[in-house]
């Protein structure tokens, strides 16, 4: 399958590695290819330069957001939350019409540094913003509530964590569920329509703030049903 | 110990039953004692009239919010979220100075009926509002993220759920942790200061919305650490 990813950061790279290992063709999209390839310093959170990663991941193509939007049958939005809509505009919304768009972003407030705060508001979560911006796409909020390291390798010693997803299109949610099952997720819970994204985004911040407070990057939540 | 509870609804009653069973003296507070005793119909969510409950729970005293605030060494705020501050004002903030105030409330938006929406905002969670309103009290956000039935009986067949708490006073959080341990909680996680209340309140709505979507009232979350 041809899969596209917006965002060259650690989230996009981990996704790309996993999707290539799964046998897919993968293209990562960036704002400016030359700038991305020219970087030779780690980024703000210590992620090594993209070019170093690409040398080890030669199967992954690099393109503009528009290249990726045209290429992918399914598109992952894995930029920082505050530039997601802009990335989609650069891609051309027409190239995303009818496609499954998986939104992994979170509304982080970095104005007070680390740990991040939360800039989401009810009715205007990033998932809802993206769906409204792409009325012809099938947006699924998923893979945002815990570290992407865990997303692509969900087996925990202490049990099976829950993967929470939301979106308006049942078929698109089933497709996302299939991808997740392929990665080892056993408990996938559909919270409902895309407006549930707010609760997935605030839940992500709970994960993140626990992470910074406890210097823990391996935790996850299991849903106990009884 | 002398414990006070604001709120005569199902949450306050379940708390009172458990606290009495633990051997405490308990007083429940209400806006208007006569009105509370005069009700002879179930409330909006089907809770039977208070008087019926009191006949089976004769050890629990009923008082005004002010009576309860004076009586209790520790006070639980278990009203609806939107009237919590008003209840505190009716109680007299001076009677709560220096005391541990356990805030179990959630900012429910019932304007669109069921399931409830969320009316919380970052920096202005109910926990923060109550702490700001009671600068001399030690406010702990706790017991709000899942049904009070589970709070007072946390043993799950599938594992030990996590109890998330937050507050500015370490000693007060230890006291709340001791109460919780007495009820069977084994994994109590302090998320940090009272500003973390926002994430506990939005997490509560995630629990509630899952509950209504799945008609599930027994679920809880376990924290997997590795």
Residue B198 has pLDDT above 80, yes or no: yes
A118 and B157 within 8 Å at the Cβ level: the answer is: no
pLDDT at B44: 75
Alpha carbons B65 and B12: distance in angstroms, whole number: 13
A219 and B223 within 8 Å at the Cβ level: the answer is: yes
% of chain B surpassing 90 pLDDT: 97
Would you list the DSSP string of chain A?
Answer: -EEEEE--SHHHHHHHHHHHHTT-EEEEEES-HHHHHH--S--TT-PPPHHHHHHH-TTSEEEEHHHHHHH-SEEEE-S-GGGHHHHHHHH-GGGGTTSEEEE----EE-TT-SS-EE---TT--HHHHHHHH-TTSEEEE-S-SS-HHHHTS--BTTBPPEEEEEES-HHHHHHHHHHHHHHT--EEEE--SGGGHHHHHHHHHHHHHHHHHHT--S-EEEEE--
Query: How many Å lie between the alpha carbon of B123 and the closest alpha carbon of chain A?
Result: 10
> Which among B156, B196, B199 has the least Cβ separation from residue A224?
B156
CATH 3.40.50.720 fits domain A2-214: yes
% of chain A surpassing 70 pLDDT: 100
pLDDT tens column, B175-184: 999 999 999 9
User: Band of the pLDDT at B45, cuts 50, 70, 90?
Assistant: confident
Alpha carbons B9 and A104: distance in angstroms, whole number: 39
Q: How many CB pairs under 8 A join A and B?
A: 105
pLDDT at B107: 98
Residue A45 has pLDDT above 80, yes or no: no
HSE-CB for A47 with a 13 A CA cutoff:
17
* Residue showing tokens 């937050």: B166
pLDDT at B224: 98
Spell out the domain ranges in chain B: 2-214
> Which among A199, A203, A220 has the least Cβ separation from residue B224?
A220
Alpha carbons A7 and A91: distance in angstroms, whole number: 12
State the average pLDDT over residues B24-28. 98
| Cα three-residue angle B209-B197-B175, rounded to 5 degrees | 115
Let me know if B220 is exposed, middle or buried by CB neighbors in 10 A (0-12, 13-18, 19+): buried
Q: At what angle do helices B84-91 and B126-133 cross, to 10 degrees?
A: 20
pLDDT at B43: 81
Partners of A161 on chain B (C-beta within 8 Å) are 224
| Cα three-residue angle B163-B166-B170, rounded to 5 degrees | 110
pLDDT at B46: 84
State the average pLDDT over residues A107-119. 95
pLDDT at A43: 81
State the average pLDDT over residues A135-139. 98
User: Band of the pLDDT at A57, cuts 50, 70, 90?
Assistant: very high
Here the ipTM equals: 0.95
pLDDT tens column, B113-138: 899 999 999 999 999 999 999 999 99
pLDDT tens column, A151-172: 999 999 999 999 999 999 999 9
* Cβ(B116)–Cβ(B110) below 8 Å: yes
User: Band of the pLDDT at A44, cuts 50, 70, 90?
Assistant: confident
Partners of B217 on chain A (C-beta within 8 Å) are none
Partners of B159 on chain A (C-beta within 8 Å) are 159, 222, 224
pLDDT at A17: 98
A157 and B198 within 8 Å at the Cβ level: the answer is: no
């Amino acid at each position: 399958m041809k899969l596209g990813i917006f965002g060259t950061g650690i989230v996009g790279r981990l996704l790309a590695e996993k999707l290539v290992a799964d046998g897919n063709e993968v293209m990562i999209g960036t704002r400016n290819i030359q700038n991305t390839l020219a970087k030779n310093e780690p980024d703000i959170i210590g992620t090594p330069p993209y070019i170093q990663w690409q040398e080890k991941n030669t199967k992954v193509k690099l393109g503009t957001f528009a290249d990726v939007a045209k290429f992918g049958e399914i598109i992952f939005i894995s930029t920082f939350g505050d530039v997601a809509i802009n990335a989609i505009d650069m891609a051309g919304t027409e190239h995303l019409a009818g496609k499954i768009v998986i939104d992994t972003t979170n509304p982080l407030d970095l104005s007070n540094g680390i740990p991040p705060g939360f800039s989401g508001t009810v009715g205007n979560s990033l998932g809802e913003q993206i769906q409204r911006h792409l009325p012809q796409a099938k947006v699924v909020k998923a893979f945002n509530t815990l570290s992407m390291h865990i997303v692509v390798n969900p087996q925990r010693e202490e049990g099976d964590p829950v993967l929470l997803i939301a979106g308006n299109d049942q078929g698109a949610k089933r497709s996302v569920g299939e991808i997740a099952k392929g990665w080892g997720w056993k408990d996938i819970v559909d919270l409902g329509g895309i407006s549930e994204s707010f609760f997935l985004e605030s839940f992500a911040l709970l994960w993140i703030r626990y992470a910074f407070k406890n210097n823990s990057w391996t935790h996850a939540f299991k849903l106990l049903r009884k």
